[in-house]
A and B are shown apart, each in its own frame.
Chain A
Amino acid sequence: VARLRLHELCGFRSGDKGDIANVALFADDAEIYATIVREVTAARVQEHFAAMVTGSVDRYEAPNVLALNFVMRGALGGGGPRSLRSDTLGKTLGGALVRLEIEVPAELAARRAPRPDVTWAVEMLERLPRVAPTSRLGRSSGRQGSA
């Protein structure tokens, strides 16, 4: 048994309906799906988001696409056009969910999310007429992502 962040195992997409956000988790394969079905309960997700979500969290299963869908009420500060938050539409809540650490069987312990390679983007930007650059462009390549 090992502990891993969901980020190493799952993709995600989140969105809004009124003051309700939903976050879908997409397992990379059937073994991971079985693990998240066991580990990522609605209660765990509610606890993970703590005060950010004021209402209930419900979980739905979509085994045909190896996905779990979490519906979080009171998640958007009153809903898109009413909310004072930066992320009024809950677009970033998927990324927030995959910070959650879960227990995984030993055979999954070595799984890692693919790491971004944006060499193509760095090369494109280097061709632009720019002021003296201040950013270390592309430094995320191969880096172990920080939380």
Chain B
Amino acid sequence: MPDAVRVAGGQGFYGDTPDAVAGLLEEGTDYLCLEALAELTIAILQKDRQKDETRGFTRDLPAYLSAALPAVAAGRTRVITNAGGINPTAAARAAAATARDLGISGIRIATVLGDDLTARLDDLAATSALAHLETGAPFDALPAPPLLASAYLGARPIVEALARGADVVITGRCADAALFLAPLVHEHGWAWHDFDRLAAGVLVGHLLECSGQTAGGNLSRDWWTVPRPWDLPYPMADVGPDGAAVITKPRASGGRVSFDTVRHQLLYEVHDPARYLAPDVVADFTSARFDDLGDDRVRVTGVRGAPATDTYKLLLCHHAGWAGEARVAFSWPDAAEKATATAAIFSERVARAGLEVDEWCIELWGVDALGGPTVPDTGTEPPEVVARVAWRCHDQLTAGLVGREMVPLTLSAPPAGMTGMGRGAGRPTELLGIWPTLVEKSLVDPHVTVHVEEV
């Protein structure tokens, strides 16, 4: 495709593998976009930063940059990532250190700041409703003090960074697809009122942001036919000036890009597909036409867009108690009955110990733990069942003491149970509640800044 820009998704979450980066760069990637922030990755990063002020970014960034910076230094690619988390400045320092370690100099690293509204939240609450986006509950109904508030910024500050010559752009929270839209706006000179093209860029970004999921990962229909799934490539797209795109993958690796793999990702974590709300545009995913060209290439055309809203999505999170979990496995005969009885015996021991549990979750793995009421009762007895019991308590100490009440059941419960610990390996884990809301762009944008530094 003449004048096409190639964008690629090299990461789909914090903890993903950098293995796919080399393949994407070998085939010629103009912009390598690394999406590192799931909904509450920010909360994990905040715990990191509480322990150490130099943290707060996704710590696998240096591993990705080690794979990418040689190509950056050679002028063959640029990197855009939201790995900055809640500390893009520290992430930029880590990026500079990685460059130094590789003997690379003369590259420009940009940071985007202004998404973290935690310190401004009281001021914002004075003028904004900050009501819960789904329930409509008012801000003062927040169950616990907010631990953080981060706004999903759009592509504009990234475009500014690219225009100022950045080779590596590091943001905090921004809409995932904005990482991909920004280089397309920058290269093709799309106007901020050219909503059809902006929507095309958002759709491409949405298709690339979950790494392997567009190239044969998490595929429902014929997953076992995906070639060499242990060498799954991550996807890339060639996007023309008119917004028409071809979604594809590096040829040398396994995986598959087809109409089916692309449509699986199209609706992933989407609500109304005709109104996909991005910070820069409202995209209509139902207007797009997908043509499977064969040979792992799918053409996307015709995407329509409409003006964006006046608000950014703002995500607050708050402490929501402490959880523990235990598992006990039982074999035939009567595995499900033994598991049920054990859960009851355990809960009664907890009550008799005077330990207060605010909420229980009792699941029978092997019966209906995942499917719940959708699982029909076939009347056949399962050969083995795991009782998984999880609980929520007000405080960490209580959550830990509850777990200890399971230990004596090894010898004092229905026969032949095998106890094992679940989440947190027996240690309580902190639960976090999510409070999605909206904030006026005009209250956020004046505080968004872009810093570019040559290292």
By beta carbon, the residue of chain A nearest B38 is A80
Ordered by A's residue number, 24 sampled pairs between the chains whose C-beta atoms are within 8 Å are A11-B221, A11-B264, A12-B220, A13-B265, A18-B39, A26-B220, A26-B260, A60-B273, A60-B274, A62-B286, A78-B433, A81-B433, A82-B320, A82-B434, A84-B323, A84-B325, A84-B359, A86-B363, A96-B375, A99-B375, A99-B376, A100-B374, A113-B221, A116-B223
- Determine whether the beta carbon of A114 is less than 8 Å from that of B222: yes
The answer to whether B267 and A96 touch across the interface, beta carbons within 8 angstroms, is: no
Asked whether, in the complex, the Cβ of B224 is within 8 Å of the Cβ of A116, the reply is: yes
Q: In whole angstroms, how far apart are the Cα atoms of A97 and B392 in the complex? A: 28
- How many Å lie between the Cα of A62 and that of B266 in the bound state? 10
Determine the chain A residues whose CB is within 8 A of the CB of B378 once the complex forms: 146-147
Which of A19, A61, A62, A66 gathers most chain B CB within 10 Å? A62
Besides A84-B325, A99-B374, 13 other A-B contacts (C-beta < 8 A): A17-B271, A20-B271, A26-B264, A51-B372, A62-B286, A69-B267, A71-B271, A78-B320, A81-B43, A81-B434, A84-B390, A86-B363, A94-B220
Q: Is B53 an interface residue (CB 8 A)?
A: no
- Residues of chain A having any CB pair with chain B under 8 Å: 11-13, 15-20, 22, 24, 26, 28, 48-52, 58, 60-67, 69, 71, 73, 77-82, 84-87, 92, 94-97, 99-100, 113-114, 116-118, 120-121, 146-147
A81 contacts B372, C-beta separation under 8 Å: no
Instruction: Tell me, yes or no, whether B438 is within 8 Å of chain A by CB.
Output: no
Q: Check A147–B376 contact: CB distance below 8 A.
A: yes
Given A17-B39, A114-B221, A24-B371 contact (CB < 8 Å): no
CA distance A49 to B392 in the complex (A): 24
Q: Contact between A67 and B267 (Cβ–Cβ < 8 Å)?
A: yes
Knowing A18-B436, A84-B359, the reply to whether A49 touches B221 (Cβ < 8 A) is: no
Q: How far is the CA of A4 from the CA of B325 in the complex (A)?
A: 38
Report whether B374 and A52 are in contact in the complex, using a CB–CB cutoff of 8 Å. yes
Query: Could you tell me the distance between the alpha carbons of A28 and B260 in the complex, rounded to whole angstroms?
Result: 9
- In this complex, how many residues of chain B approach chain A with their Cβ under 8 Å: the count is 58
> Which chain A residues lie closer than 8 Å to B268 at the CB level?
13, 15, 24
Judge whether B370 and A96 touch: CB under 8 Å. Answer: yes
B224: chain A residues at CB < 8 Å are 116-118, 120-121
A56 to chain B, nearest CB (A): 10
Q: Which residue of A lies closest to B429 (CB)?
A: A81
Task: Report yes or no: B271 in contact with A60, Cβ–Cβ below 8 A.
Answer: yes
Point out the residue from B39, B218, B271, B285 that lies within 8 Å of A80, measured CB to CB. B39
Using A19-B134, A20-B134 as known contacts, say yes or no to A65 and B370 having CB atoms under 8 A apart: no
B370 & A92 in contact (Cβ 8 Å cutoff): yes
| In the complex with contacts A52-B374, A62-B286, A13-B267 CB distance below 8 A | yes
B289 and A64 within 8 A (CB): yes
Residues of chain B within 8 A of A120, CB atoms compared: 224
Smallest Cβ distance from A103 to chain B, in angstroms?
17
A62-B285, A86-B363, A146-B378 as given contacts; A49 in contact with B372, CB under 8 Å: yes
Measured between alpha carbons, how far is A99 from B368 in the docked complex, in Å?
13
User: In the bound complex, what is the Cα–Cα distance between A58 and B271 (angstroms)?
Assistant: 9
* Contact yes or no, B373 A65, CB < 8 A: no
**Bound-complex Cα distance A117 to B223 (A):** 10
Contact with A along B9-45 (1 / 0, CB 8 A): 0000000000000000000000000000001100100
